[in-house]
Amino acid sequence: MDITYRPRRLRRSPSLRSMVRENSLRPSDFIYPLFVHEGNQVQPIGAMPGASRWSLDSLIHEVQRAWELGIRCVVLFPKVDESLKTENGEECFNEKGLIPRAIQLLKKEIPQMTIMTDVALDPYSIDGHDGIVSAQGVVLNDETIEFLCRQAVVQAQAGADLIGPSDMMDGRVGAIREALDDEGYEHVGIISYTAKYSSAYYGPFREALDSAPRSETTKPIPKDKSTYQMDPANSREAITEAQLDEQEGADILMVKPGLAYLDIIYRLREESELPIAAYNVSGEYAMVKAAADRGWIDEKSVVLETLMSFKRAGADLILTYHACDAARWLQEK
């Protein structure tokens, strides 16, 4: 056949393929999400095989393991005792609360690890929403931001390196940036959940933290988070959110979920010069684990291919529960 250009020439051997590979994965690309609770035991999470709620003591060992695998950032999520939850979620800015103590402990034991936190009210709220719910069943924007700012300052005071507002209230990035700066924490970064969609992929996460919206209260509670999280049908809106977050002082922009929103990652990469993060969320993780458990897929190959898809779409960083496994597999290659 008279074929001038044959792309297969550059696929002929492993060395040739590695020479022209456009994207790569490294353990330092991963941010490892960790669930923390007050108990003394490690509690496996039923909906997320391989993931657990960590006690403070066991958390140290898990973070040390992640560091030795080449992971350079973890993000902490609290499983808050039911007795501490209120309508306004005031426990979120308790200086002696679970997350401030976890940050302090990790900074003492593994000071080189970057610590990211979550800023939202849902783990601390009896209503299960990211913001304060009014008596009329409305998630209040500006009143919530005041609490989020106090939460962020307490986390920074404890030693957090990156603050992650996941609540999706309007204007919260700018308010948190101002609050941190006013308290002398100009060095603390903000990794904003810029395009966080109202997604069905969050189910296992909400089981892990018992943070889903509730209905067994005396006031009307919105059944989902669609009045503040983004509509899955929208993509242009993500550009608006990214532009606002940049103007308000975000250091890193995030897309959540990741796998079903690769187009959004790509669009933000085209629009912004800031680092882009993708959140490989609990539902995506659970589906892979379930299929692998049944022998339907090869877990290692599917995980690494999925993580590479985030990089190919334009993500610089990937929040993933597969982080330690993926880092180990990359070391073995």
Q: To the nearest 10°, report the CA torsion of 180, 184, 187, 188.
A: -30
111 assigned to some structural domain: yes
d(CA 283, CA 277) in angstroms, rounded, equals 18
17 assigned to some structural domain: no
Among residues 196, 225, 289, 311, the one annotated as catalytic is 196
pLDDT in tens, the chain (333 residues): 889 999 999 999 999 999 999 999 999 999 999 999 998 999 999 999 999 999 999 999 999 999 999 999 999 999 999 999 998 999 999 999 999 999 999 999 999 999 999 999 999 998 889 999 998 999 999 999 999 999 999 999 999 999 999 999 999 999 999 999 999 999 999 999 999 999 999 988 878 777 677 766 677 888 889 999 999 999 999 999 999 999 999 999 999 999 999 999 999 999 999 999 999 999 999 999 999 999 999 999 999 999 999 999 999 999 999 999 999 999 987
- Spell 265-301 as b/e; 16+ CB within 10 A means b: bbbbbeebebbbbbbbbbbbbbebbeebeeeeeebee
49 assigned to some structural domain: yes
Q: To the nearest 10°, report the CA torsion of 245, 156, 256, 330.
A: 120
Q: For residue 224, what is the enclosing H or E element?
A: none
Give the total number of structural domains in the chain. 1
Within 13 Å and on the Cβ side, how many CA atoms surround 108?
A: 11
pTM of the predicted model as reported, rounded to 2 decimal places: 0.94
d(CA 252, CA 144) in angstroms, rounded, equals 22
Residue with tokens 């597999």: 329
14 assigned to some structural domain: no
Residue 211, domain CATH: 3.20.20.70
Active site residue 256: yes
299 assigned to some structural domain: yes
Among residues 79, 85, 225, 256, the one annotated as catalytic is 256
Alpha helices in 135-202 (DSSP H): 141-158, 172-182
Domain that holds residue 251: 24-332
228 assigned to some structural domain: yes
33 assigned to some structural domain: yes
206 assigned to some structural domain: yes
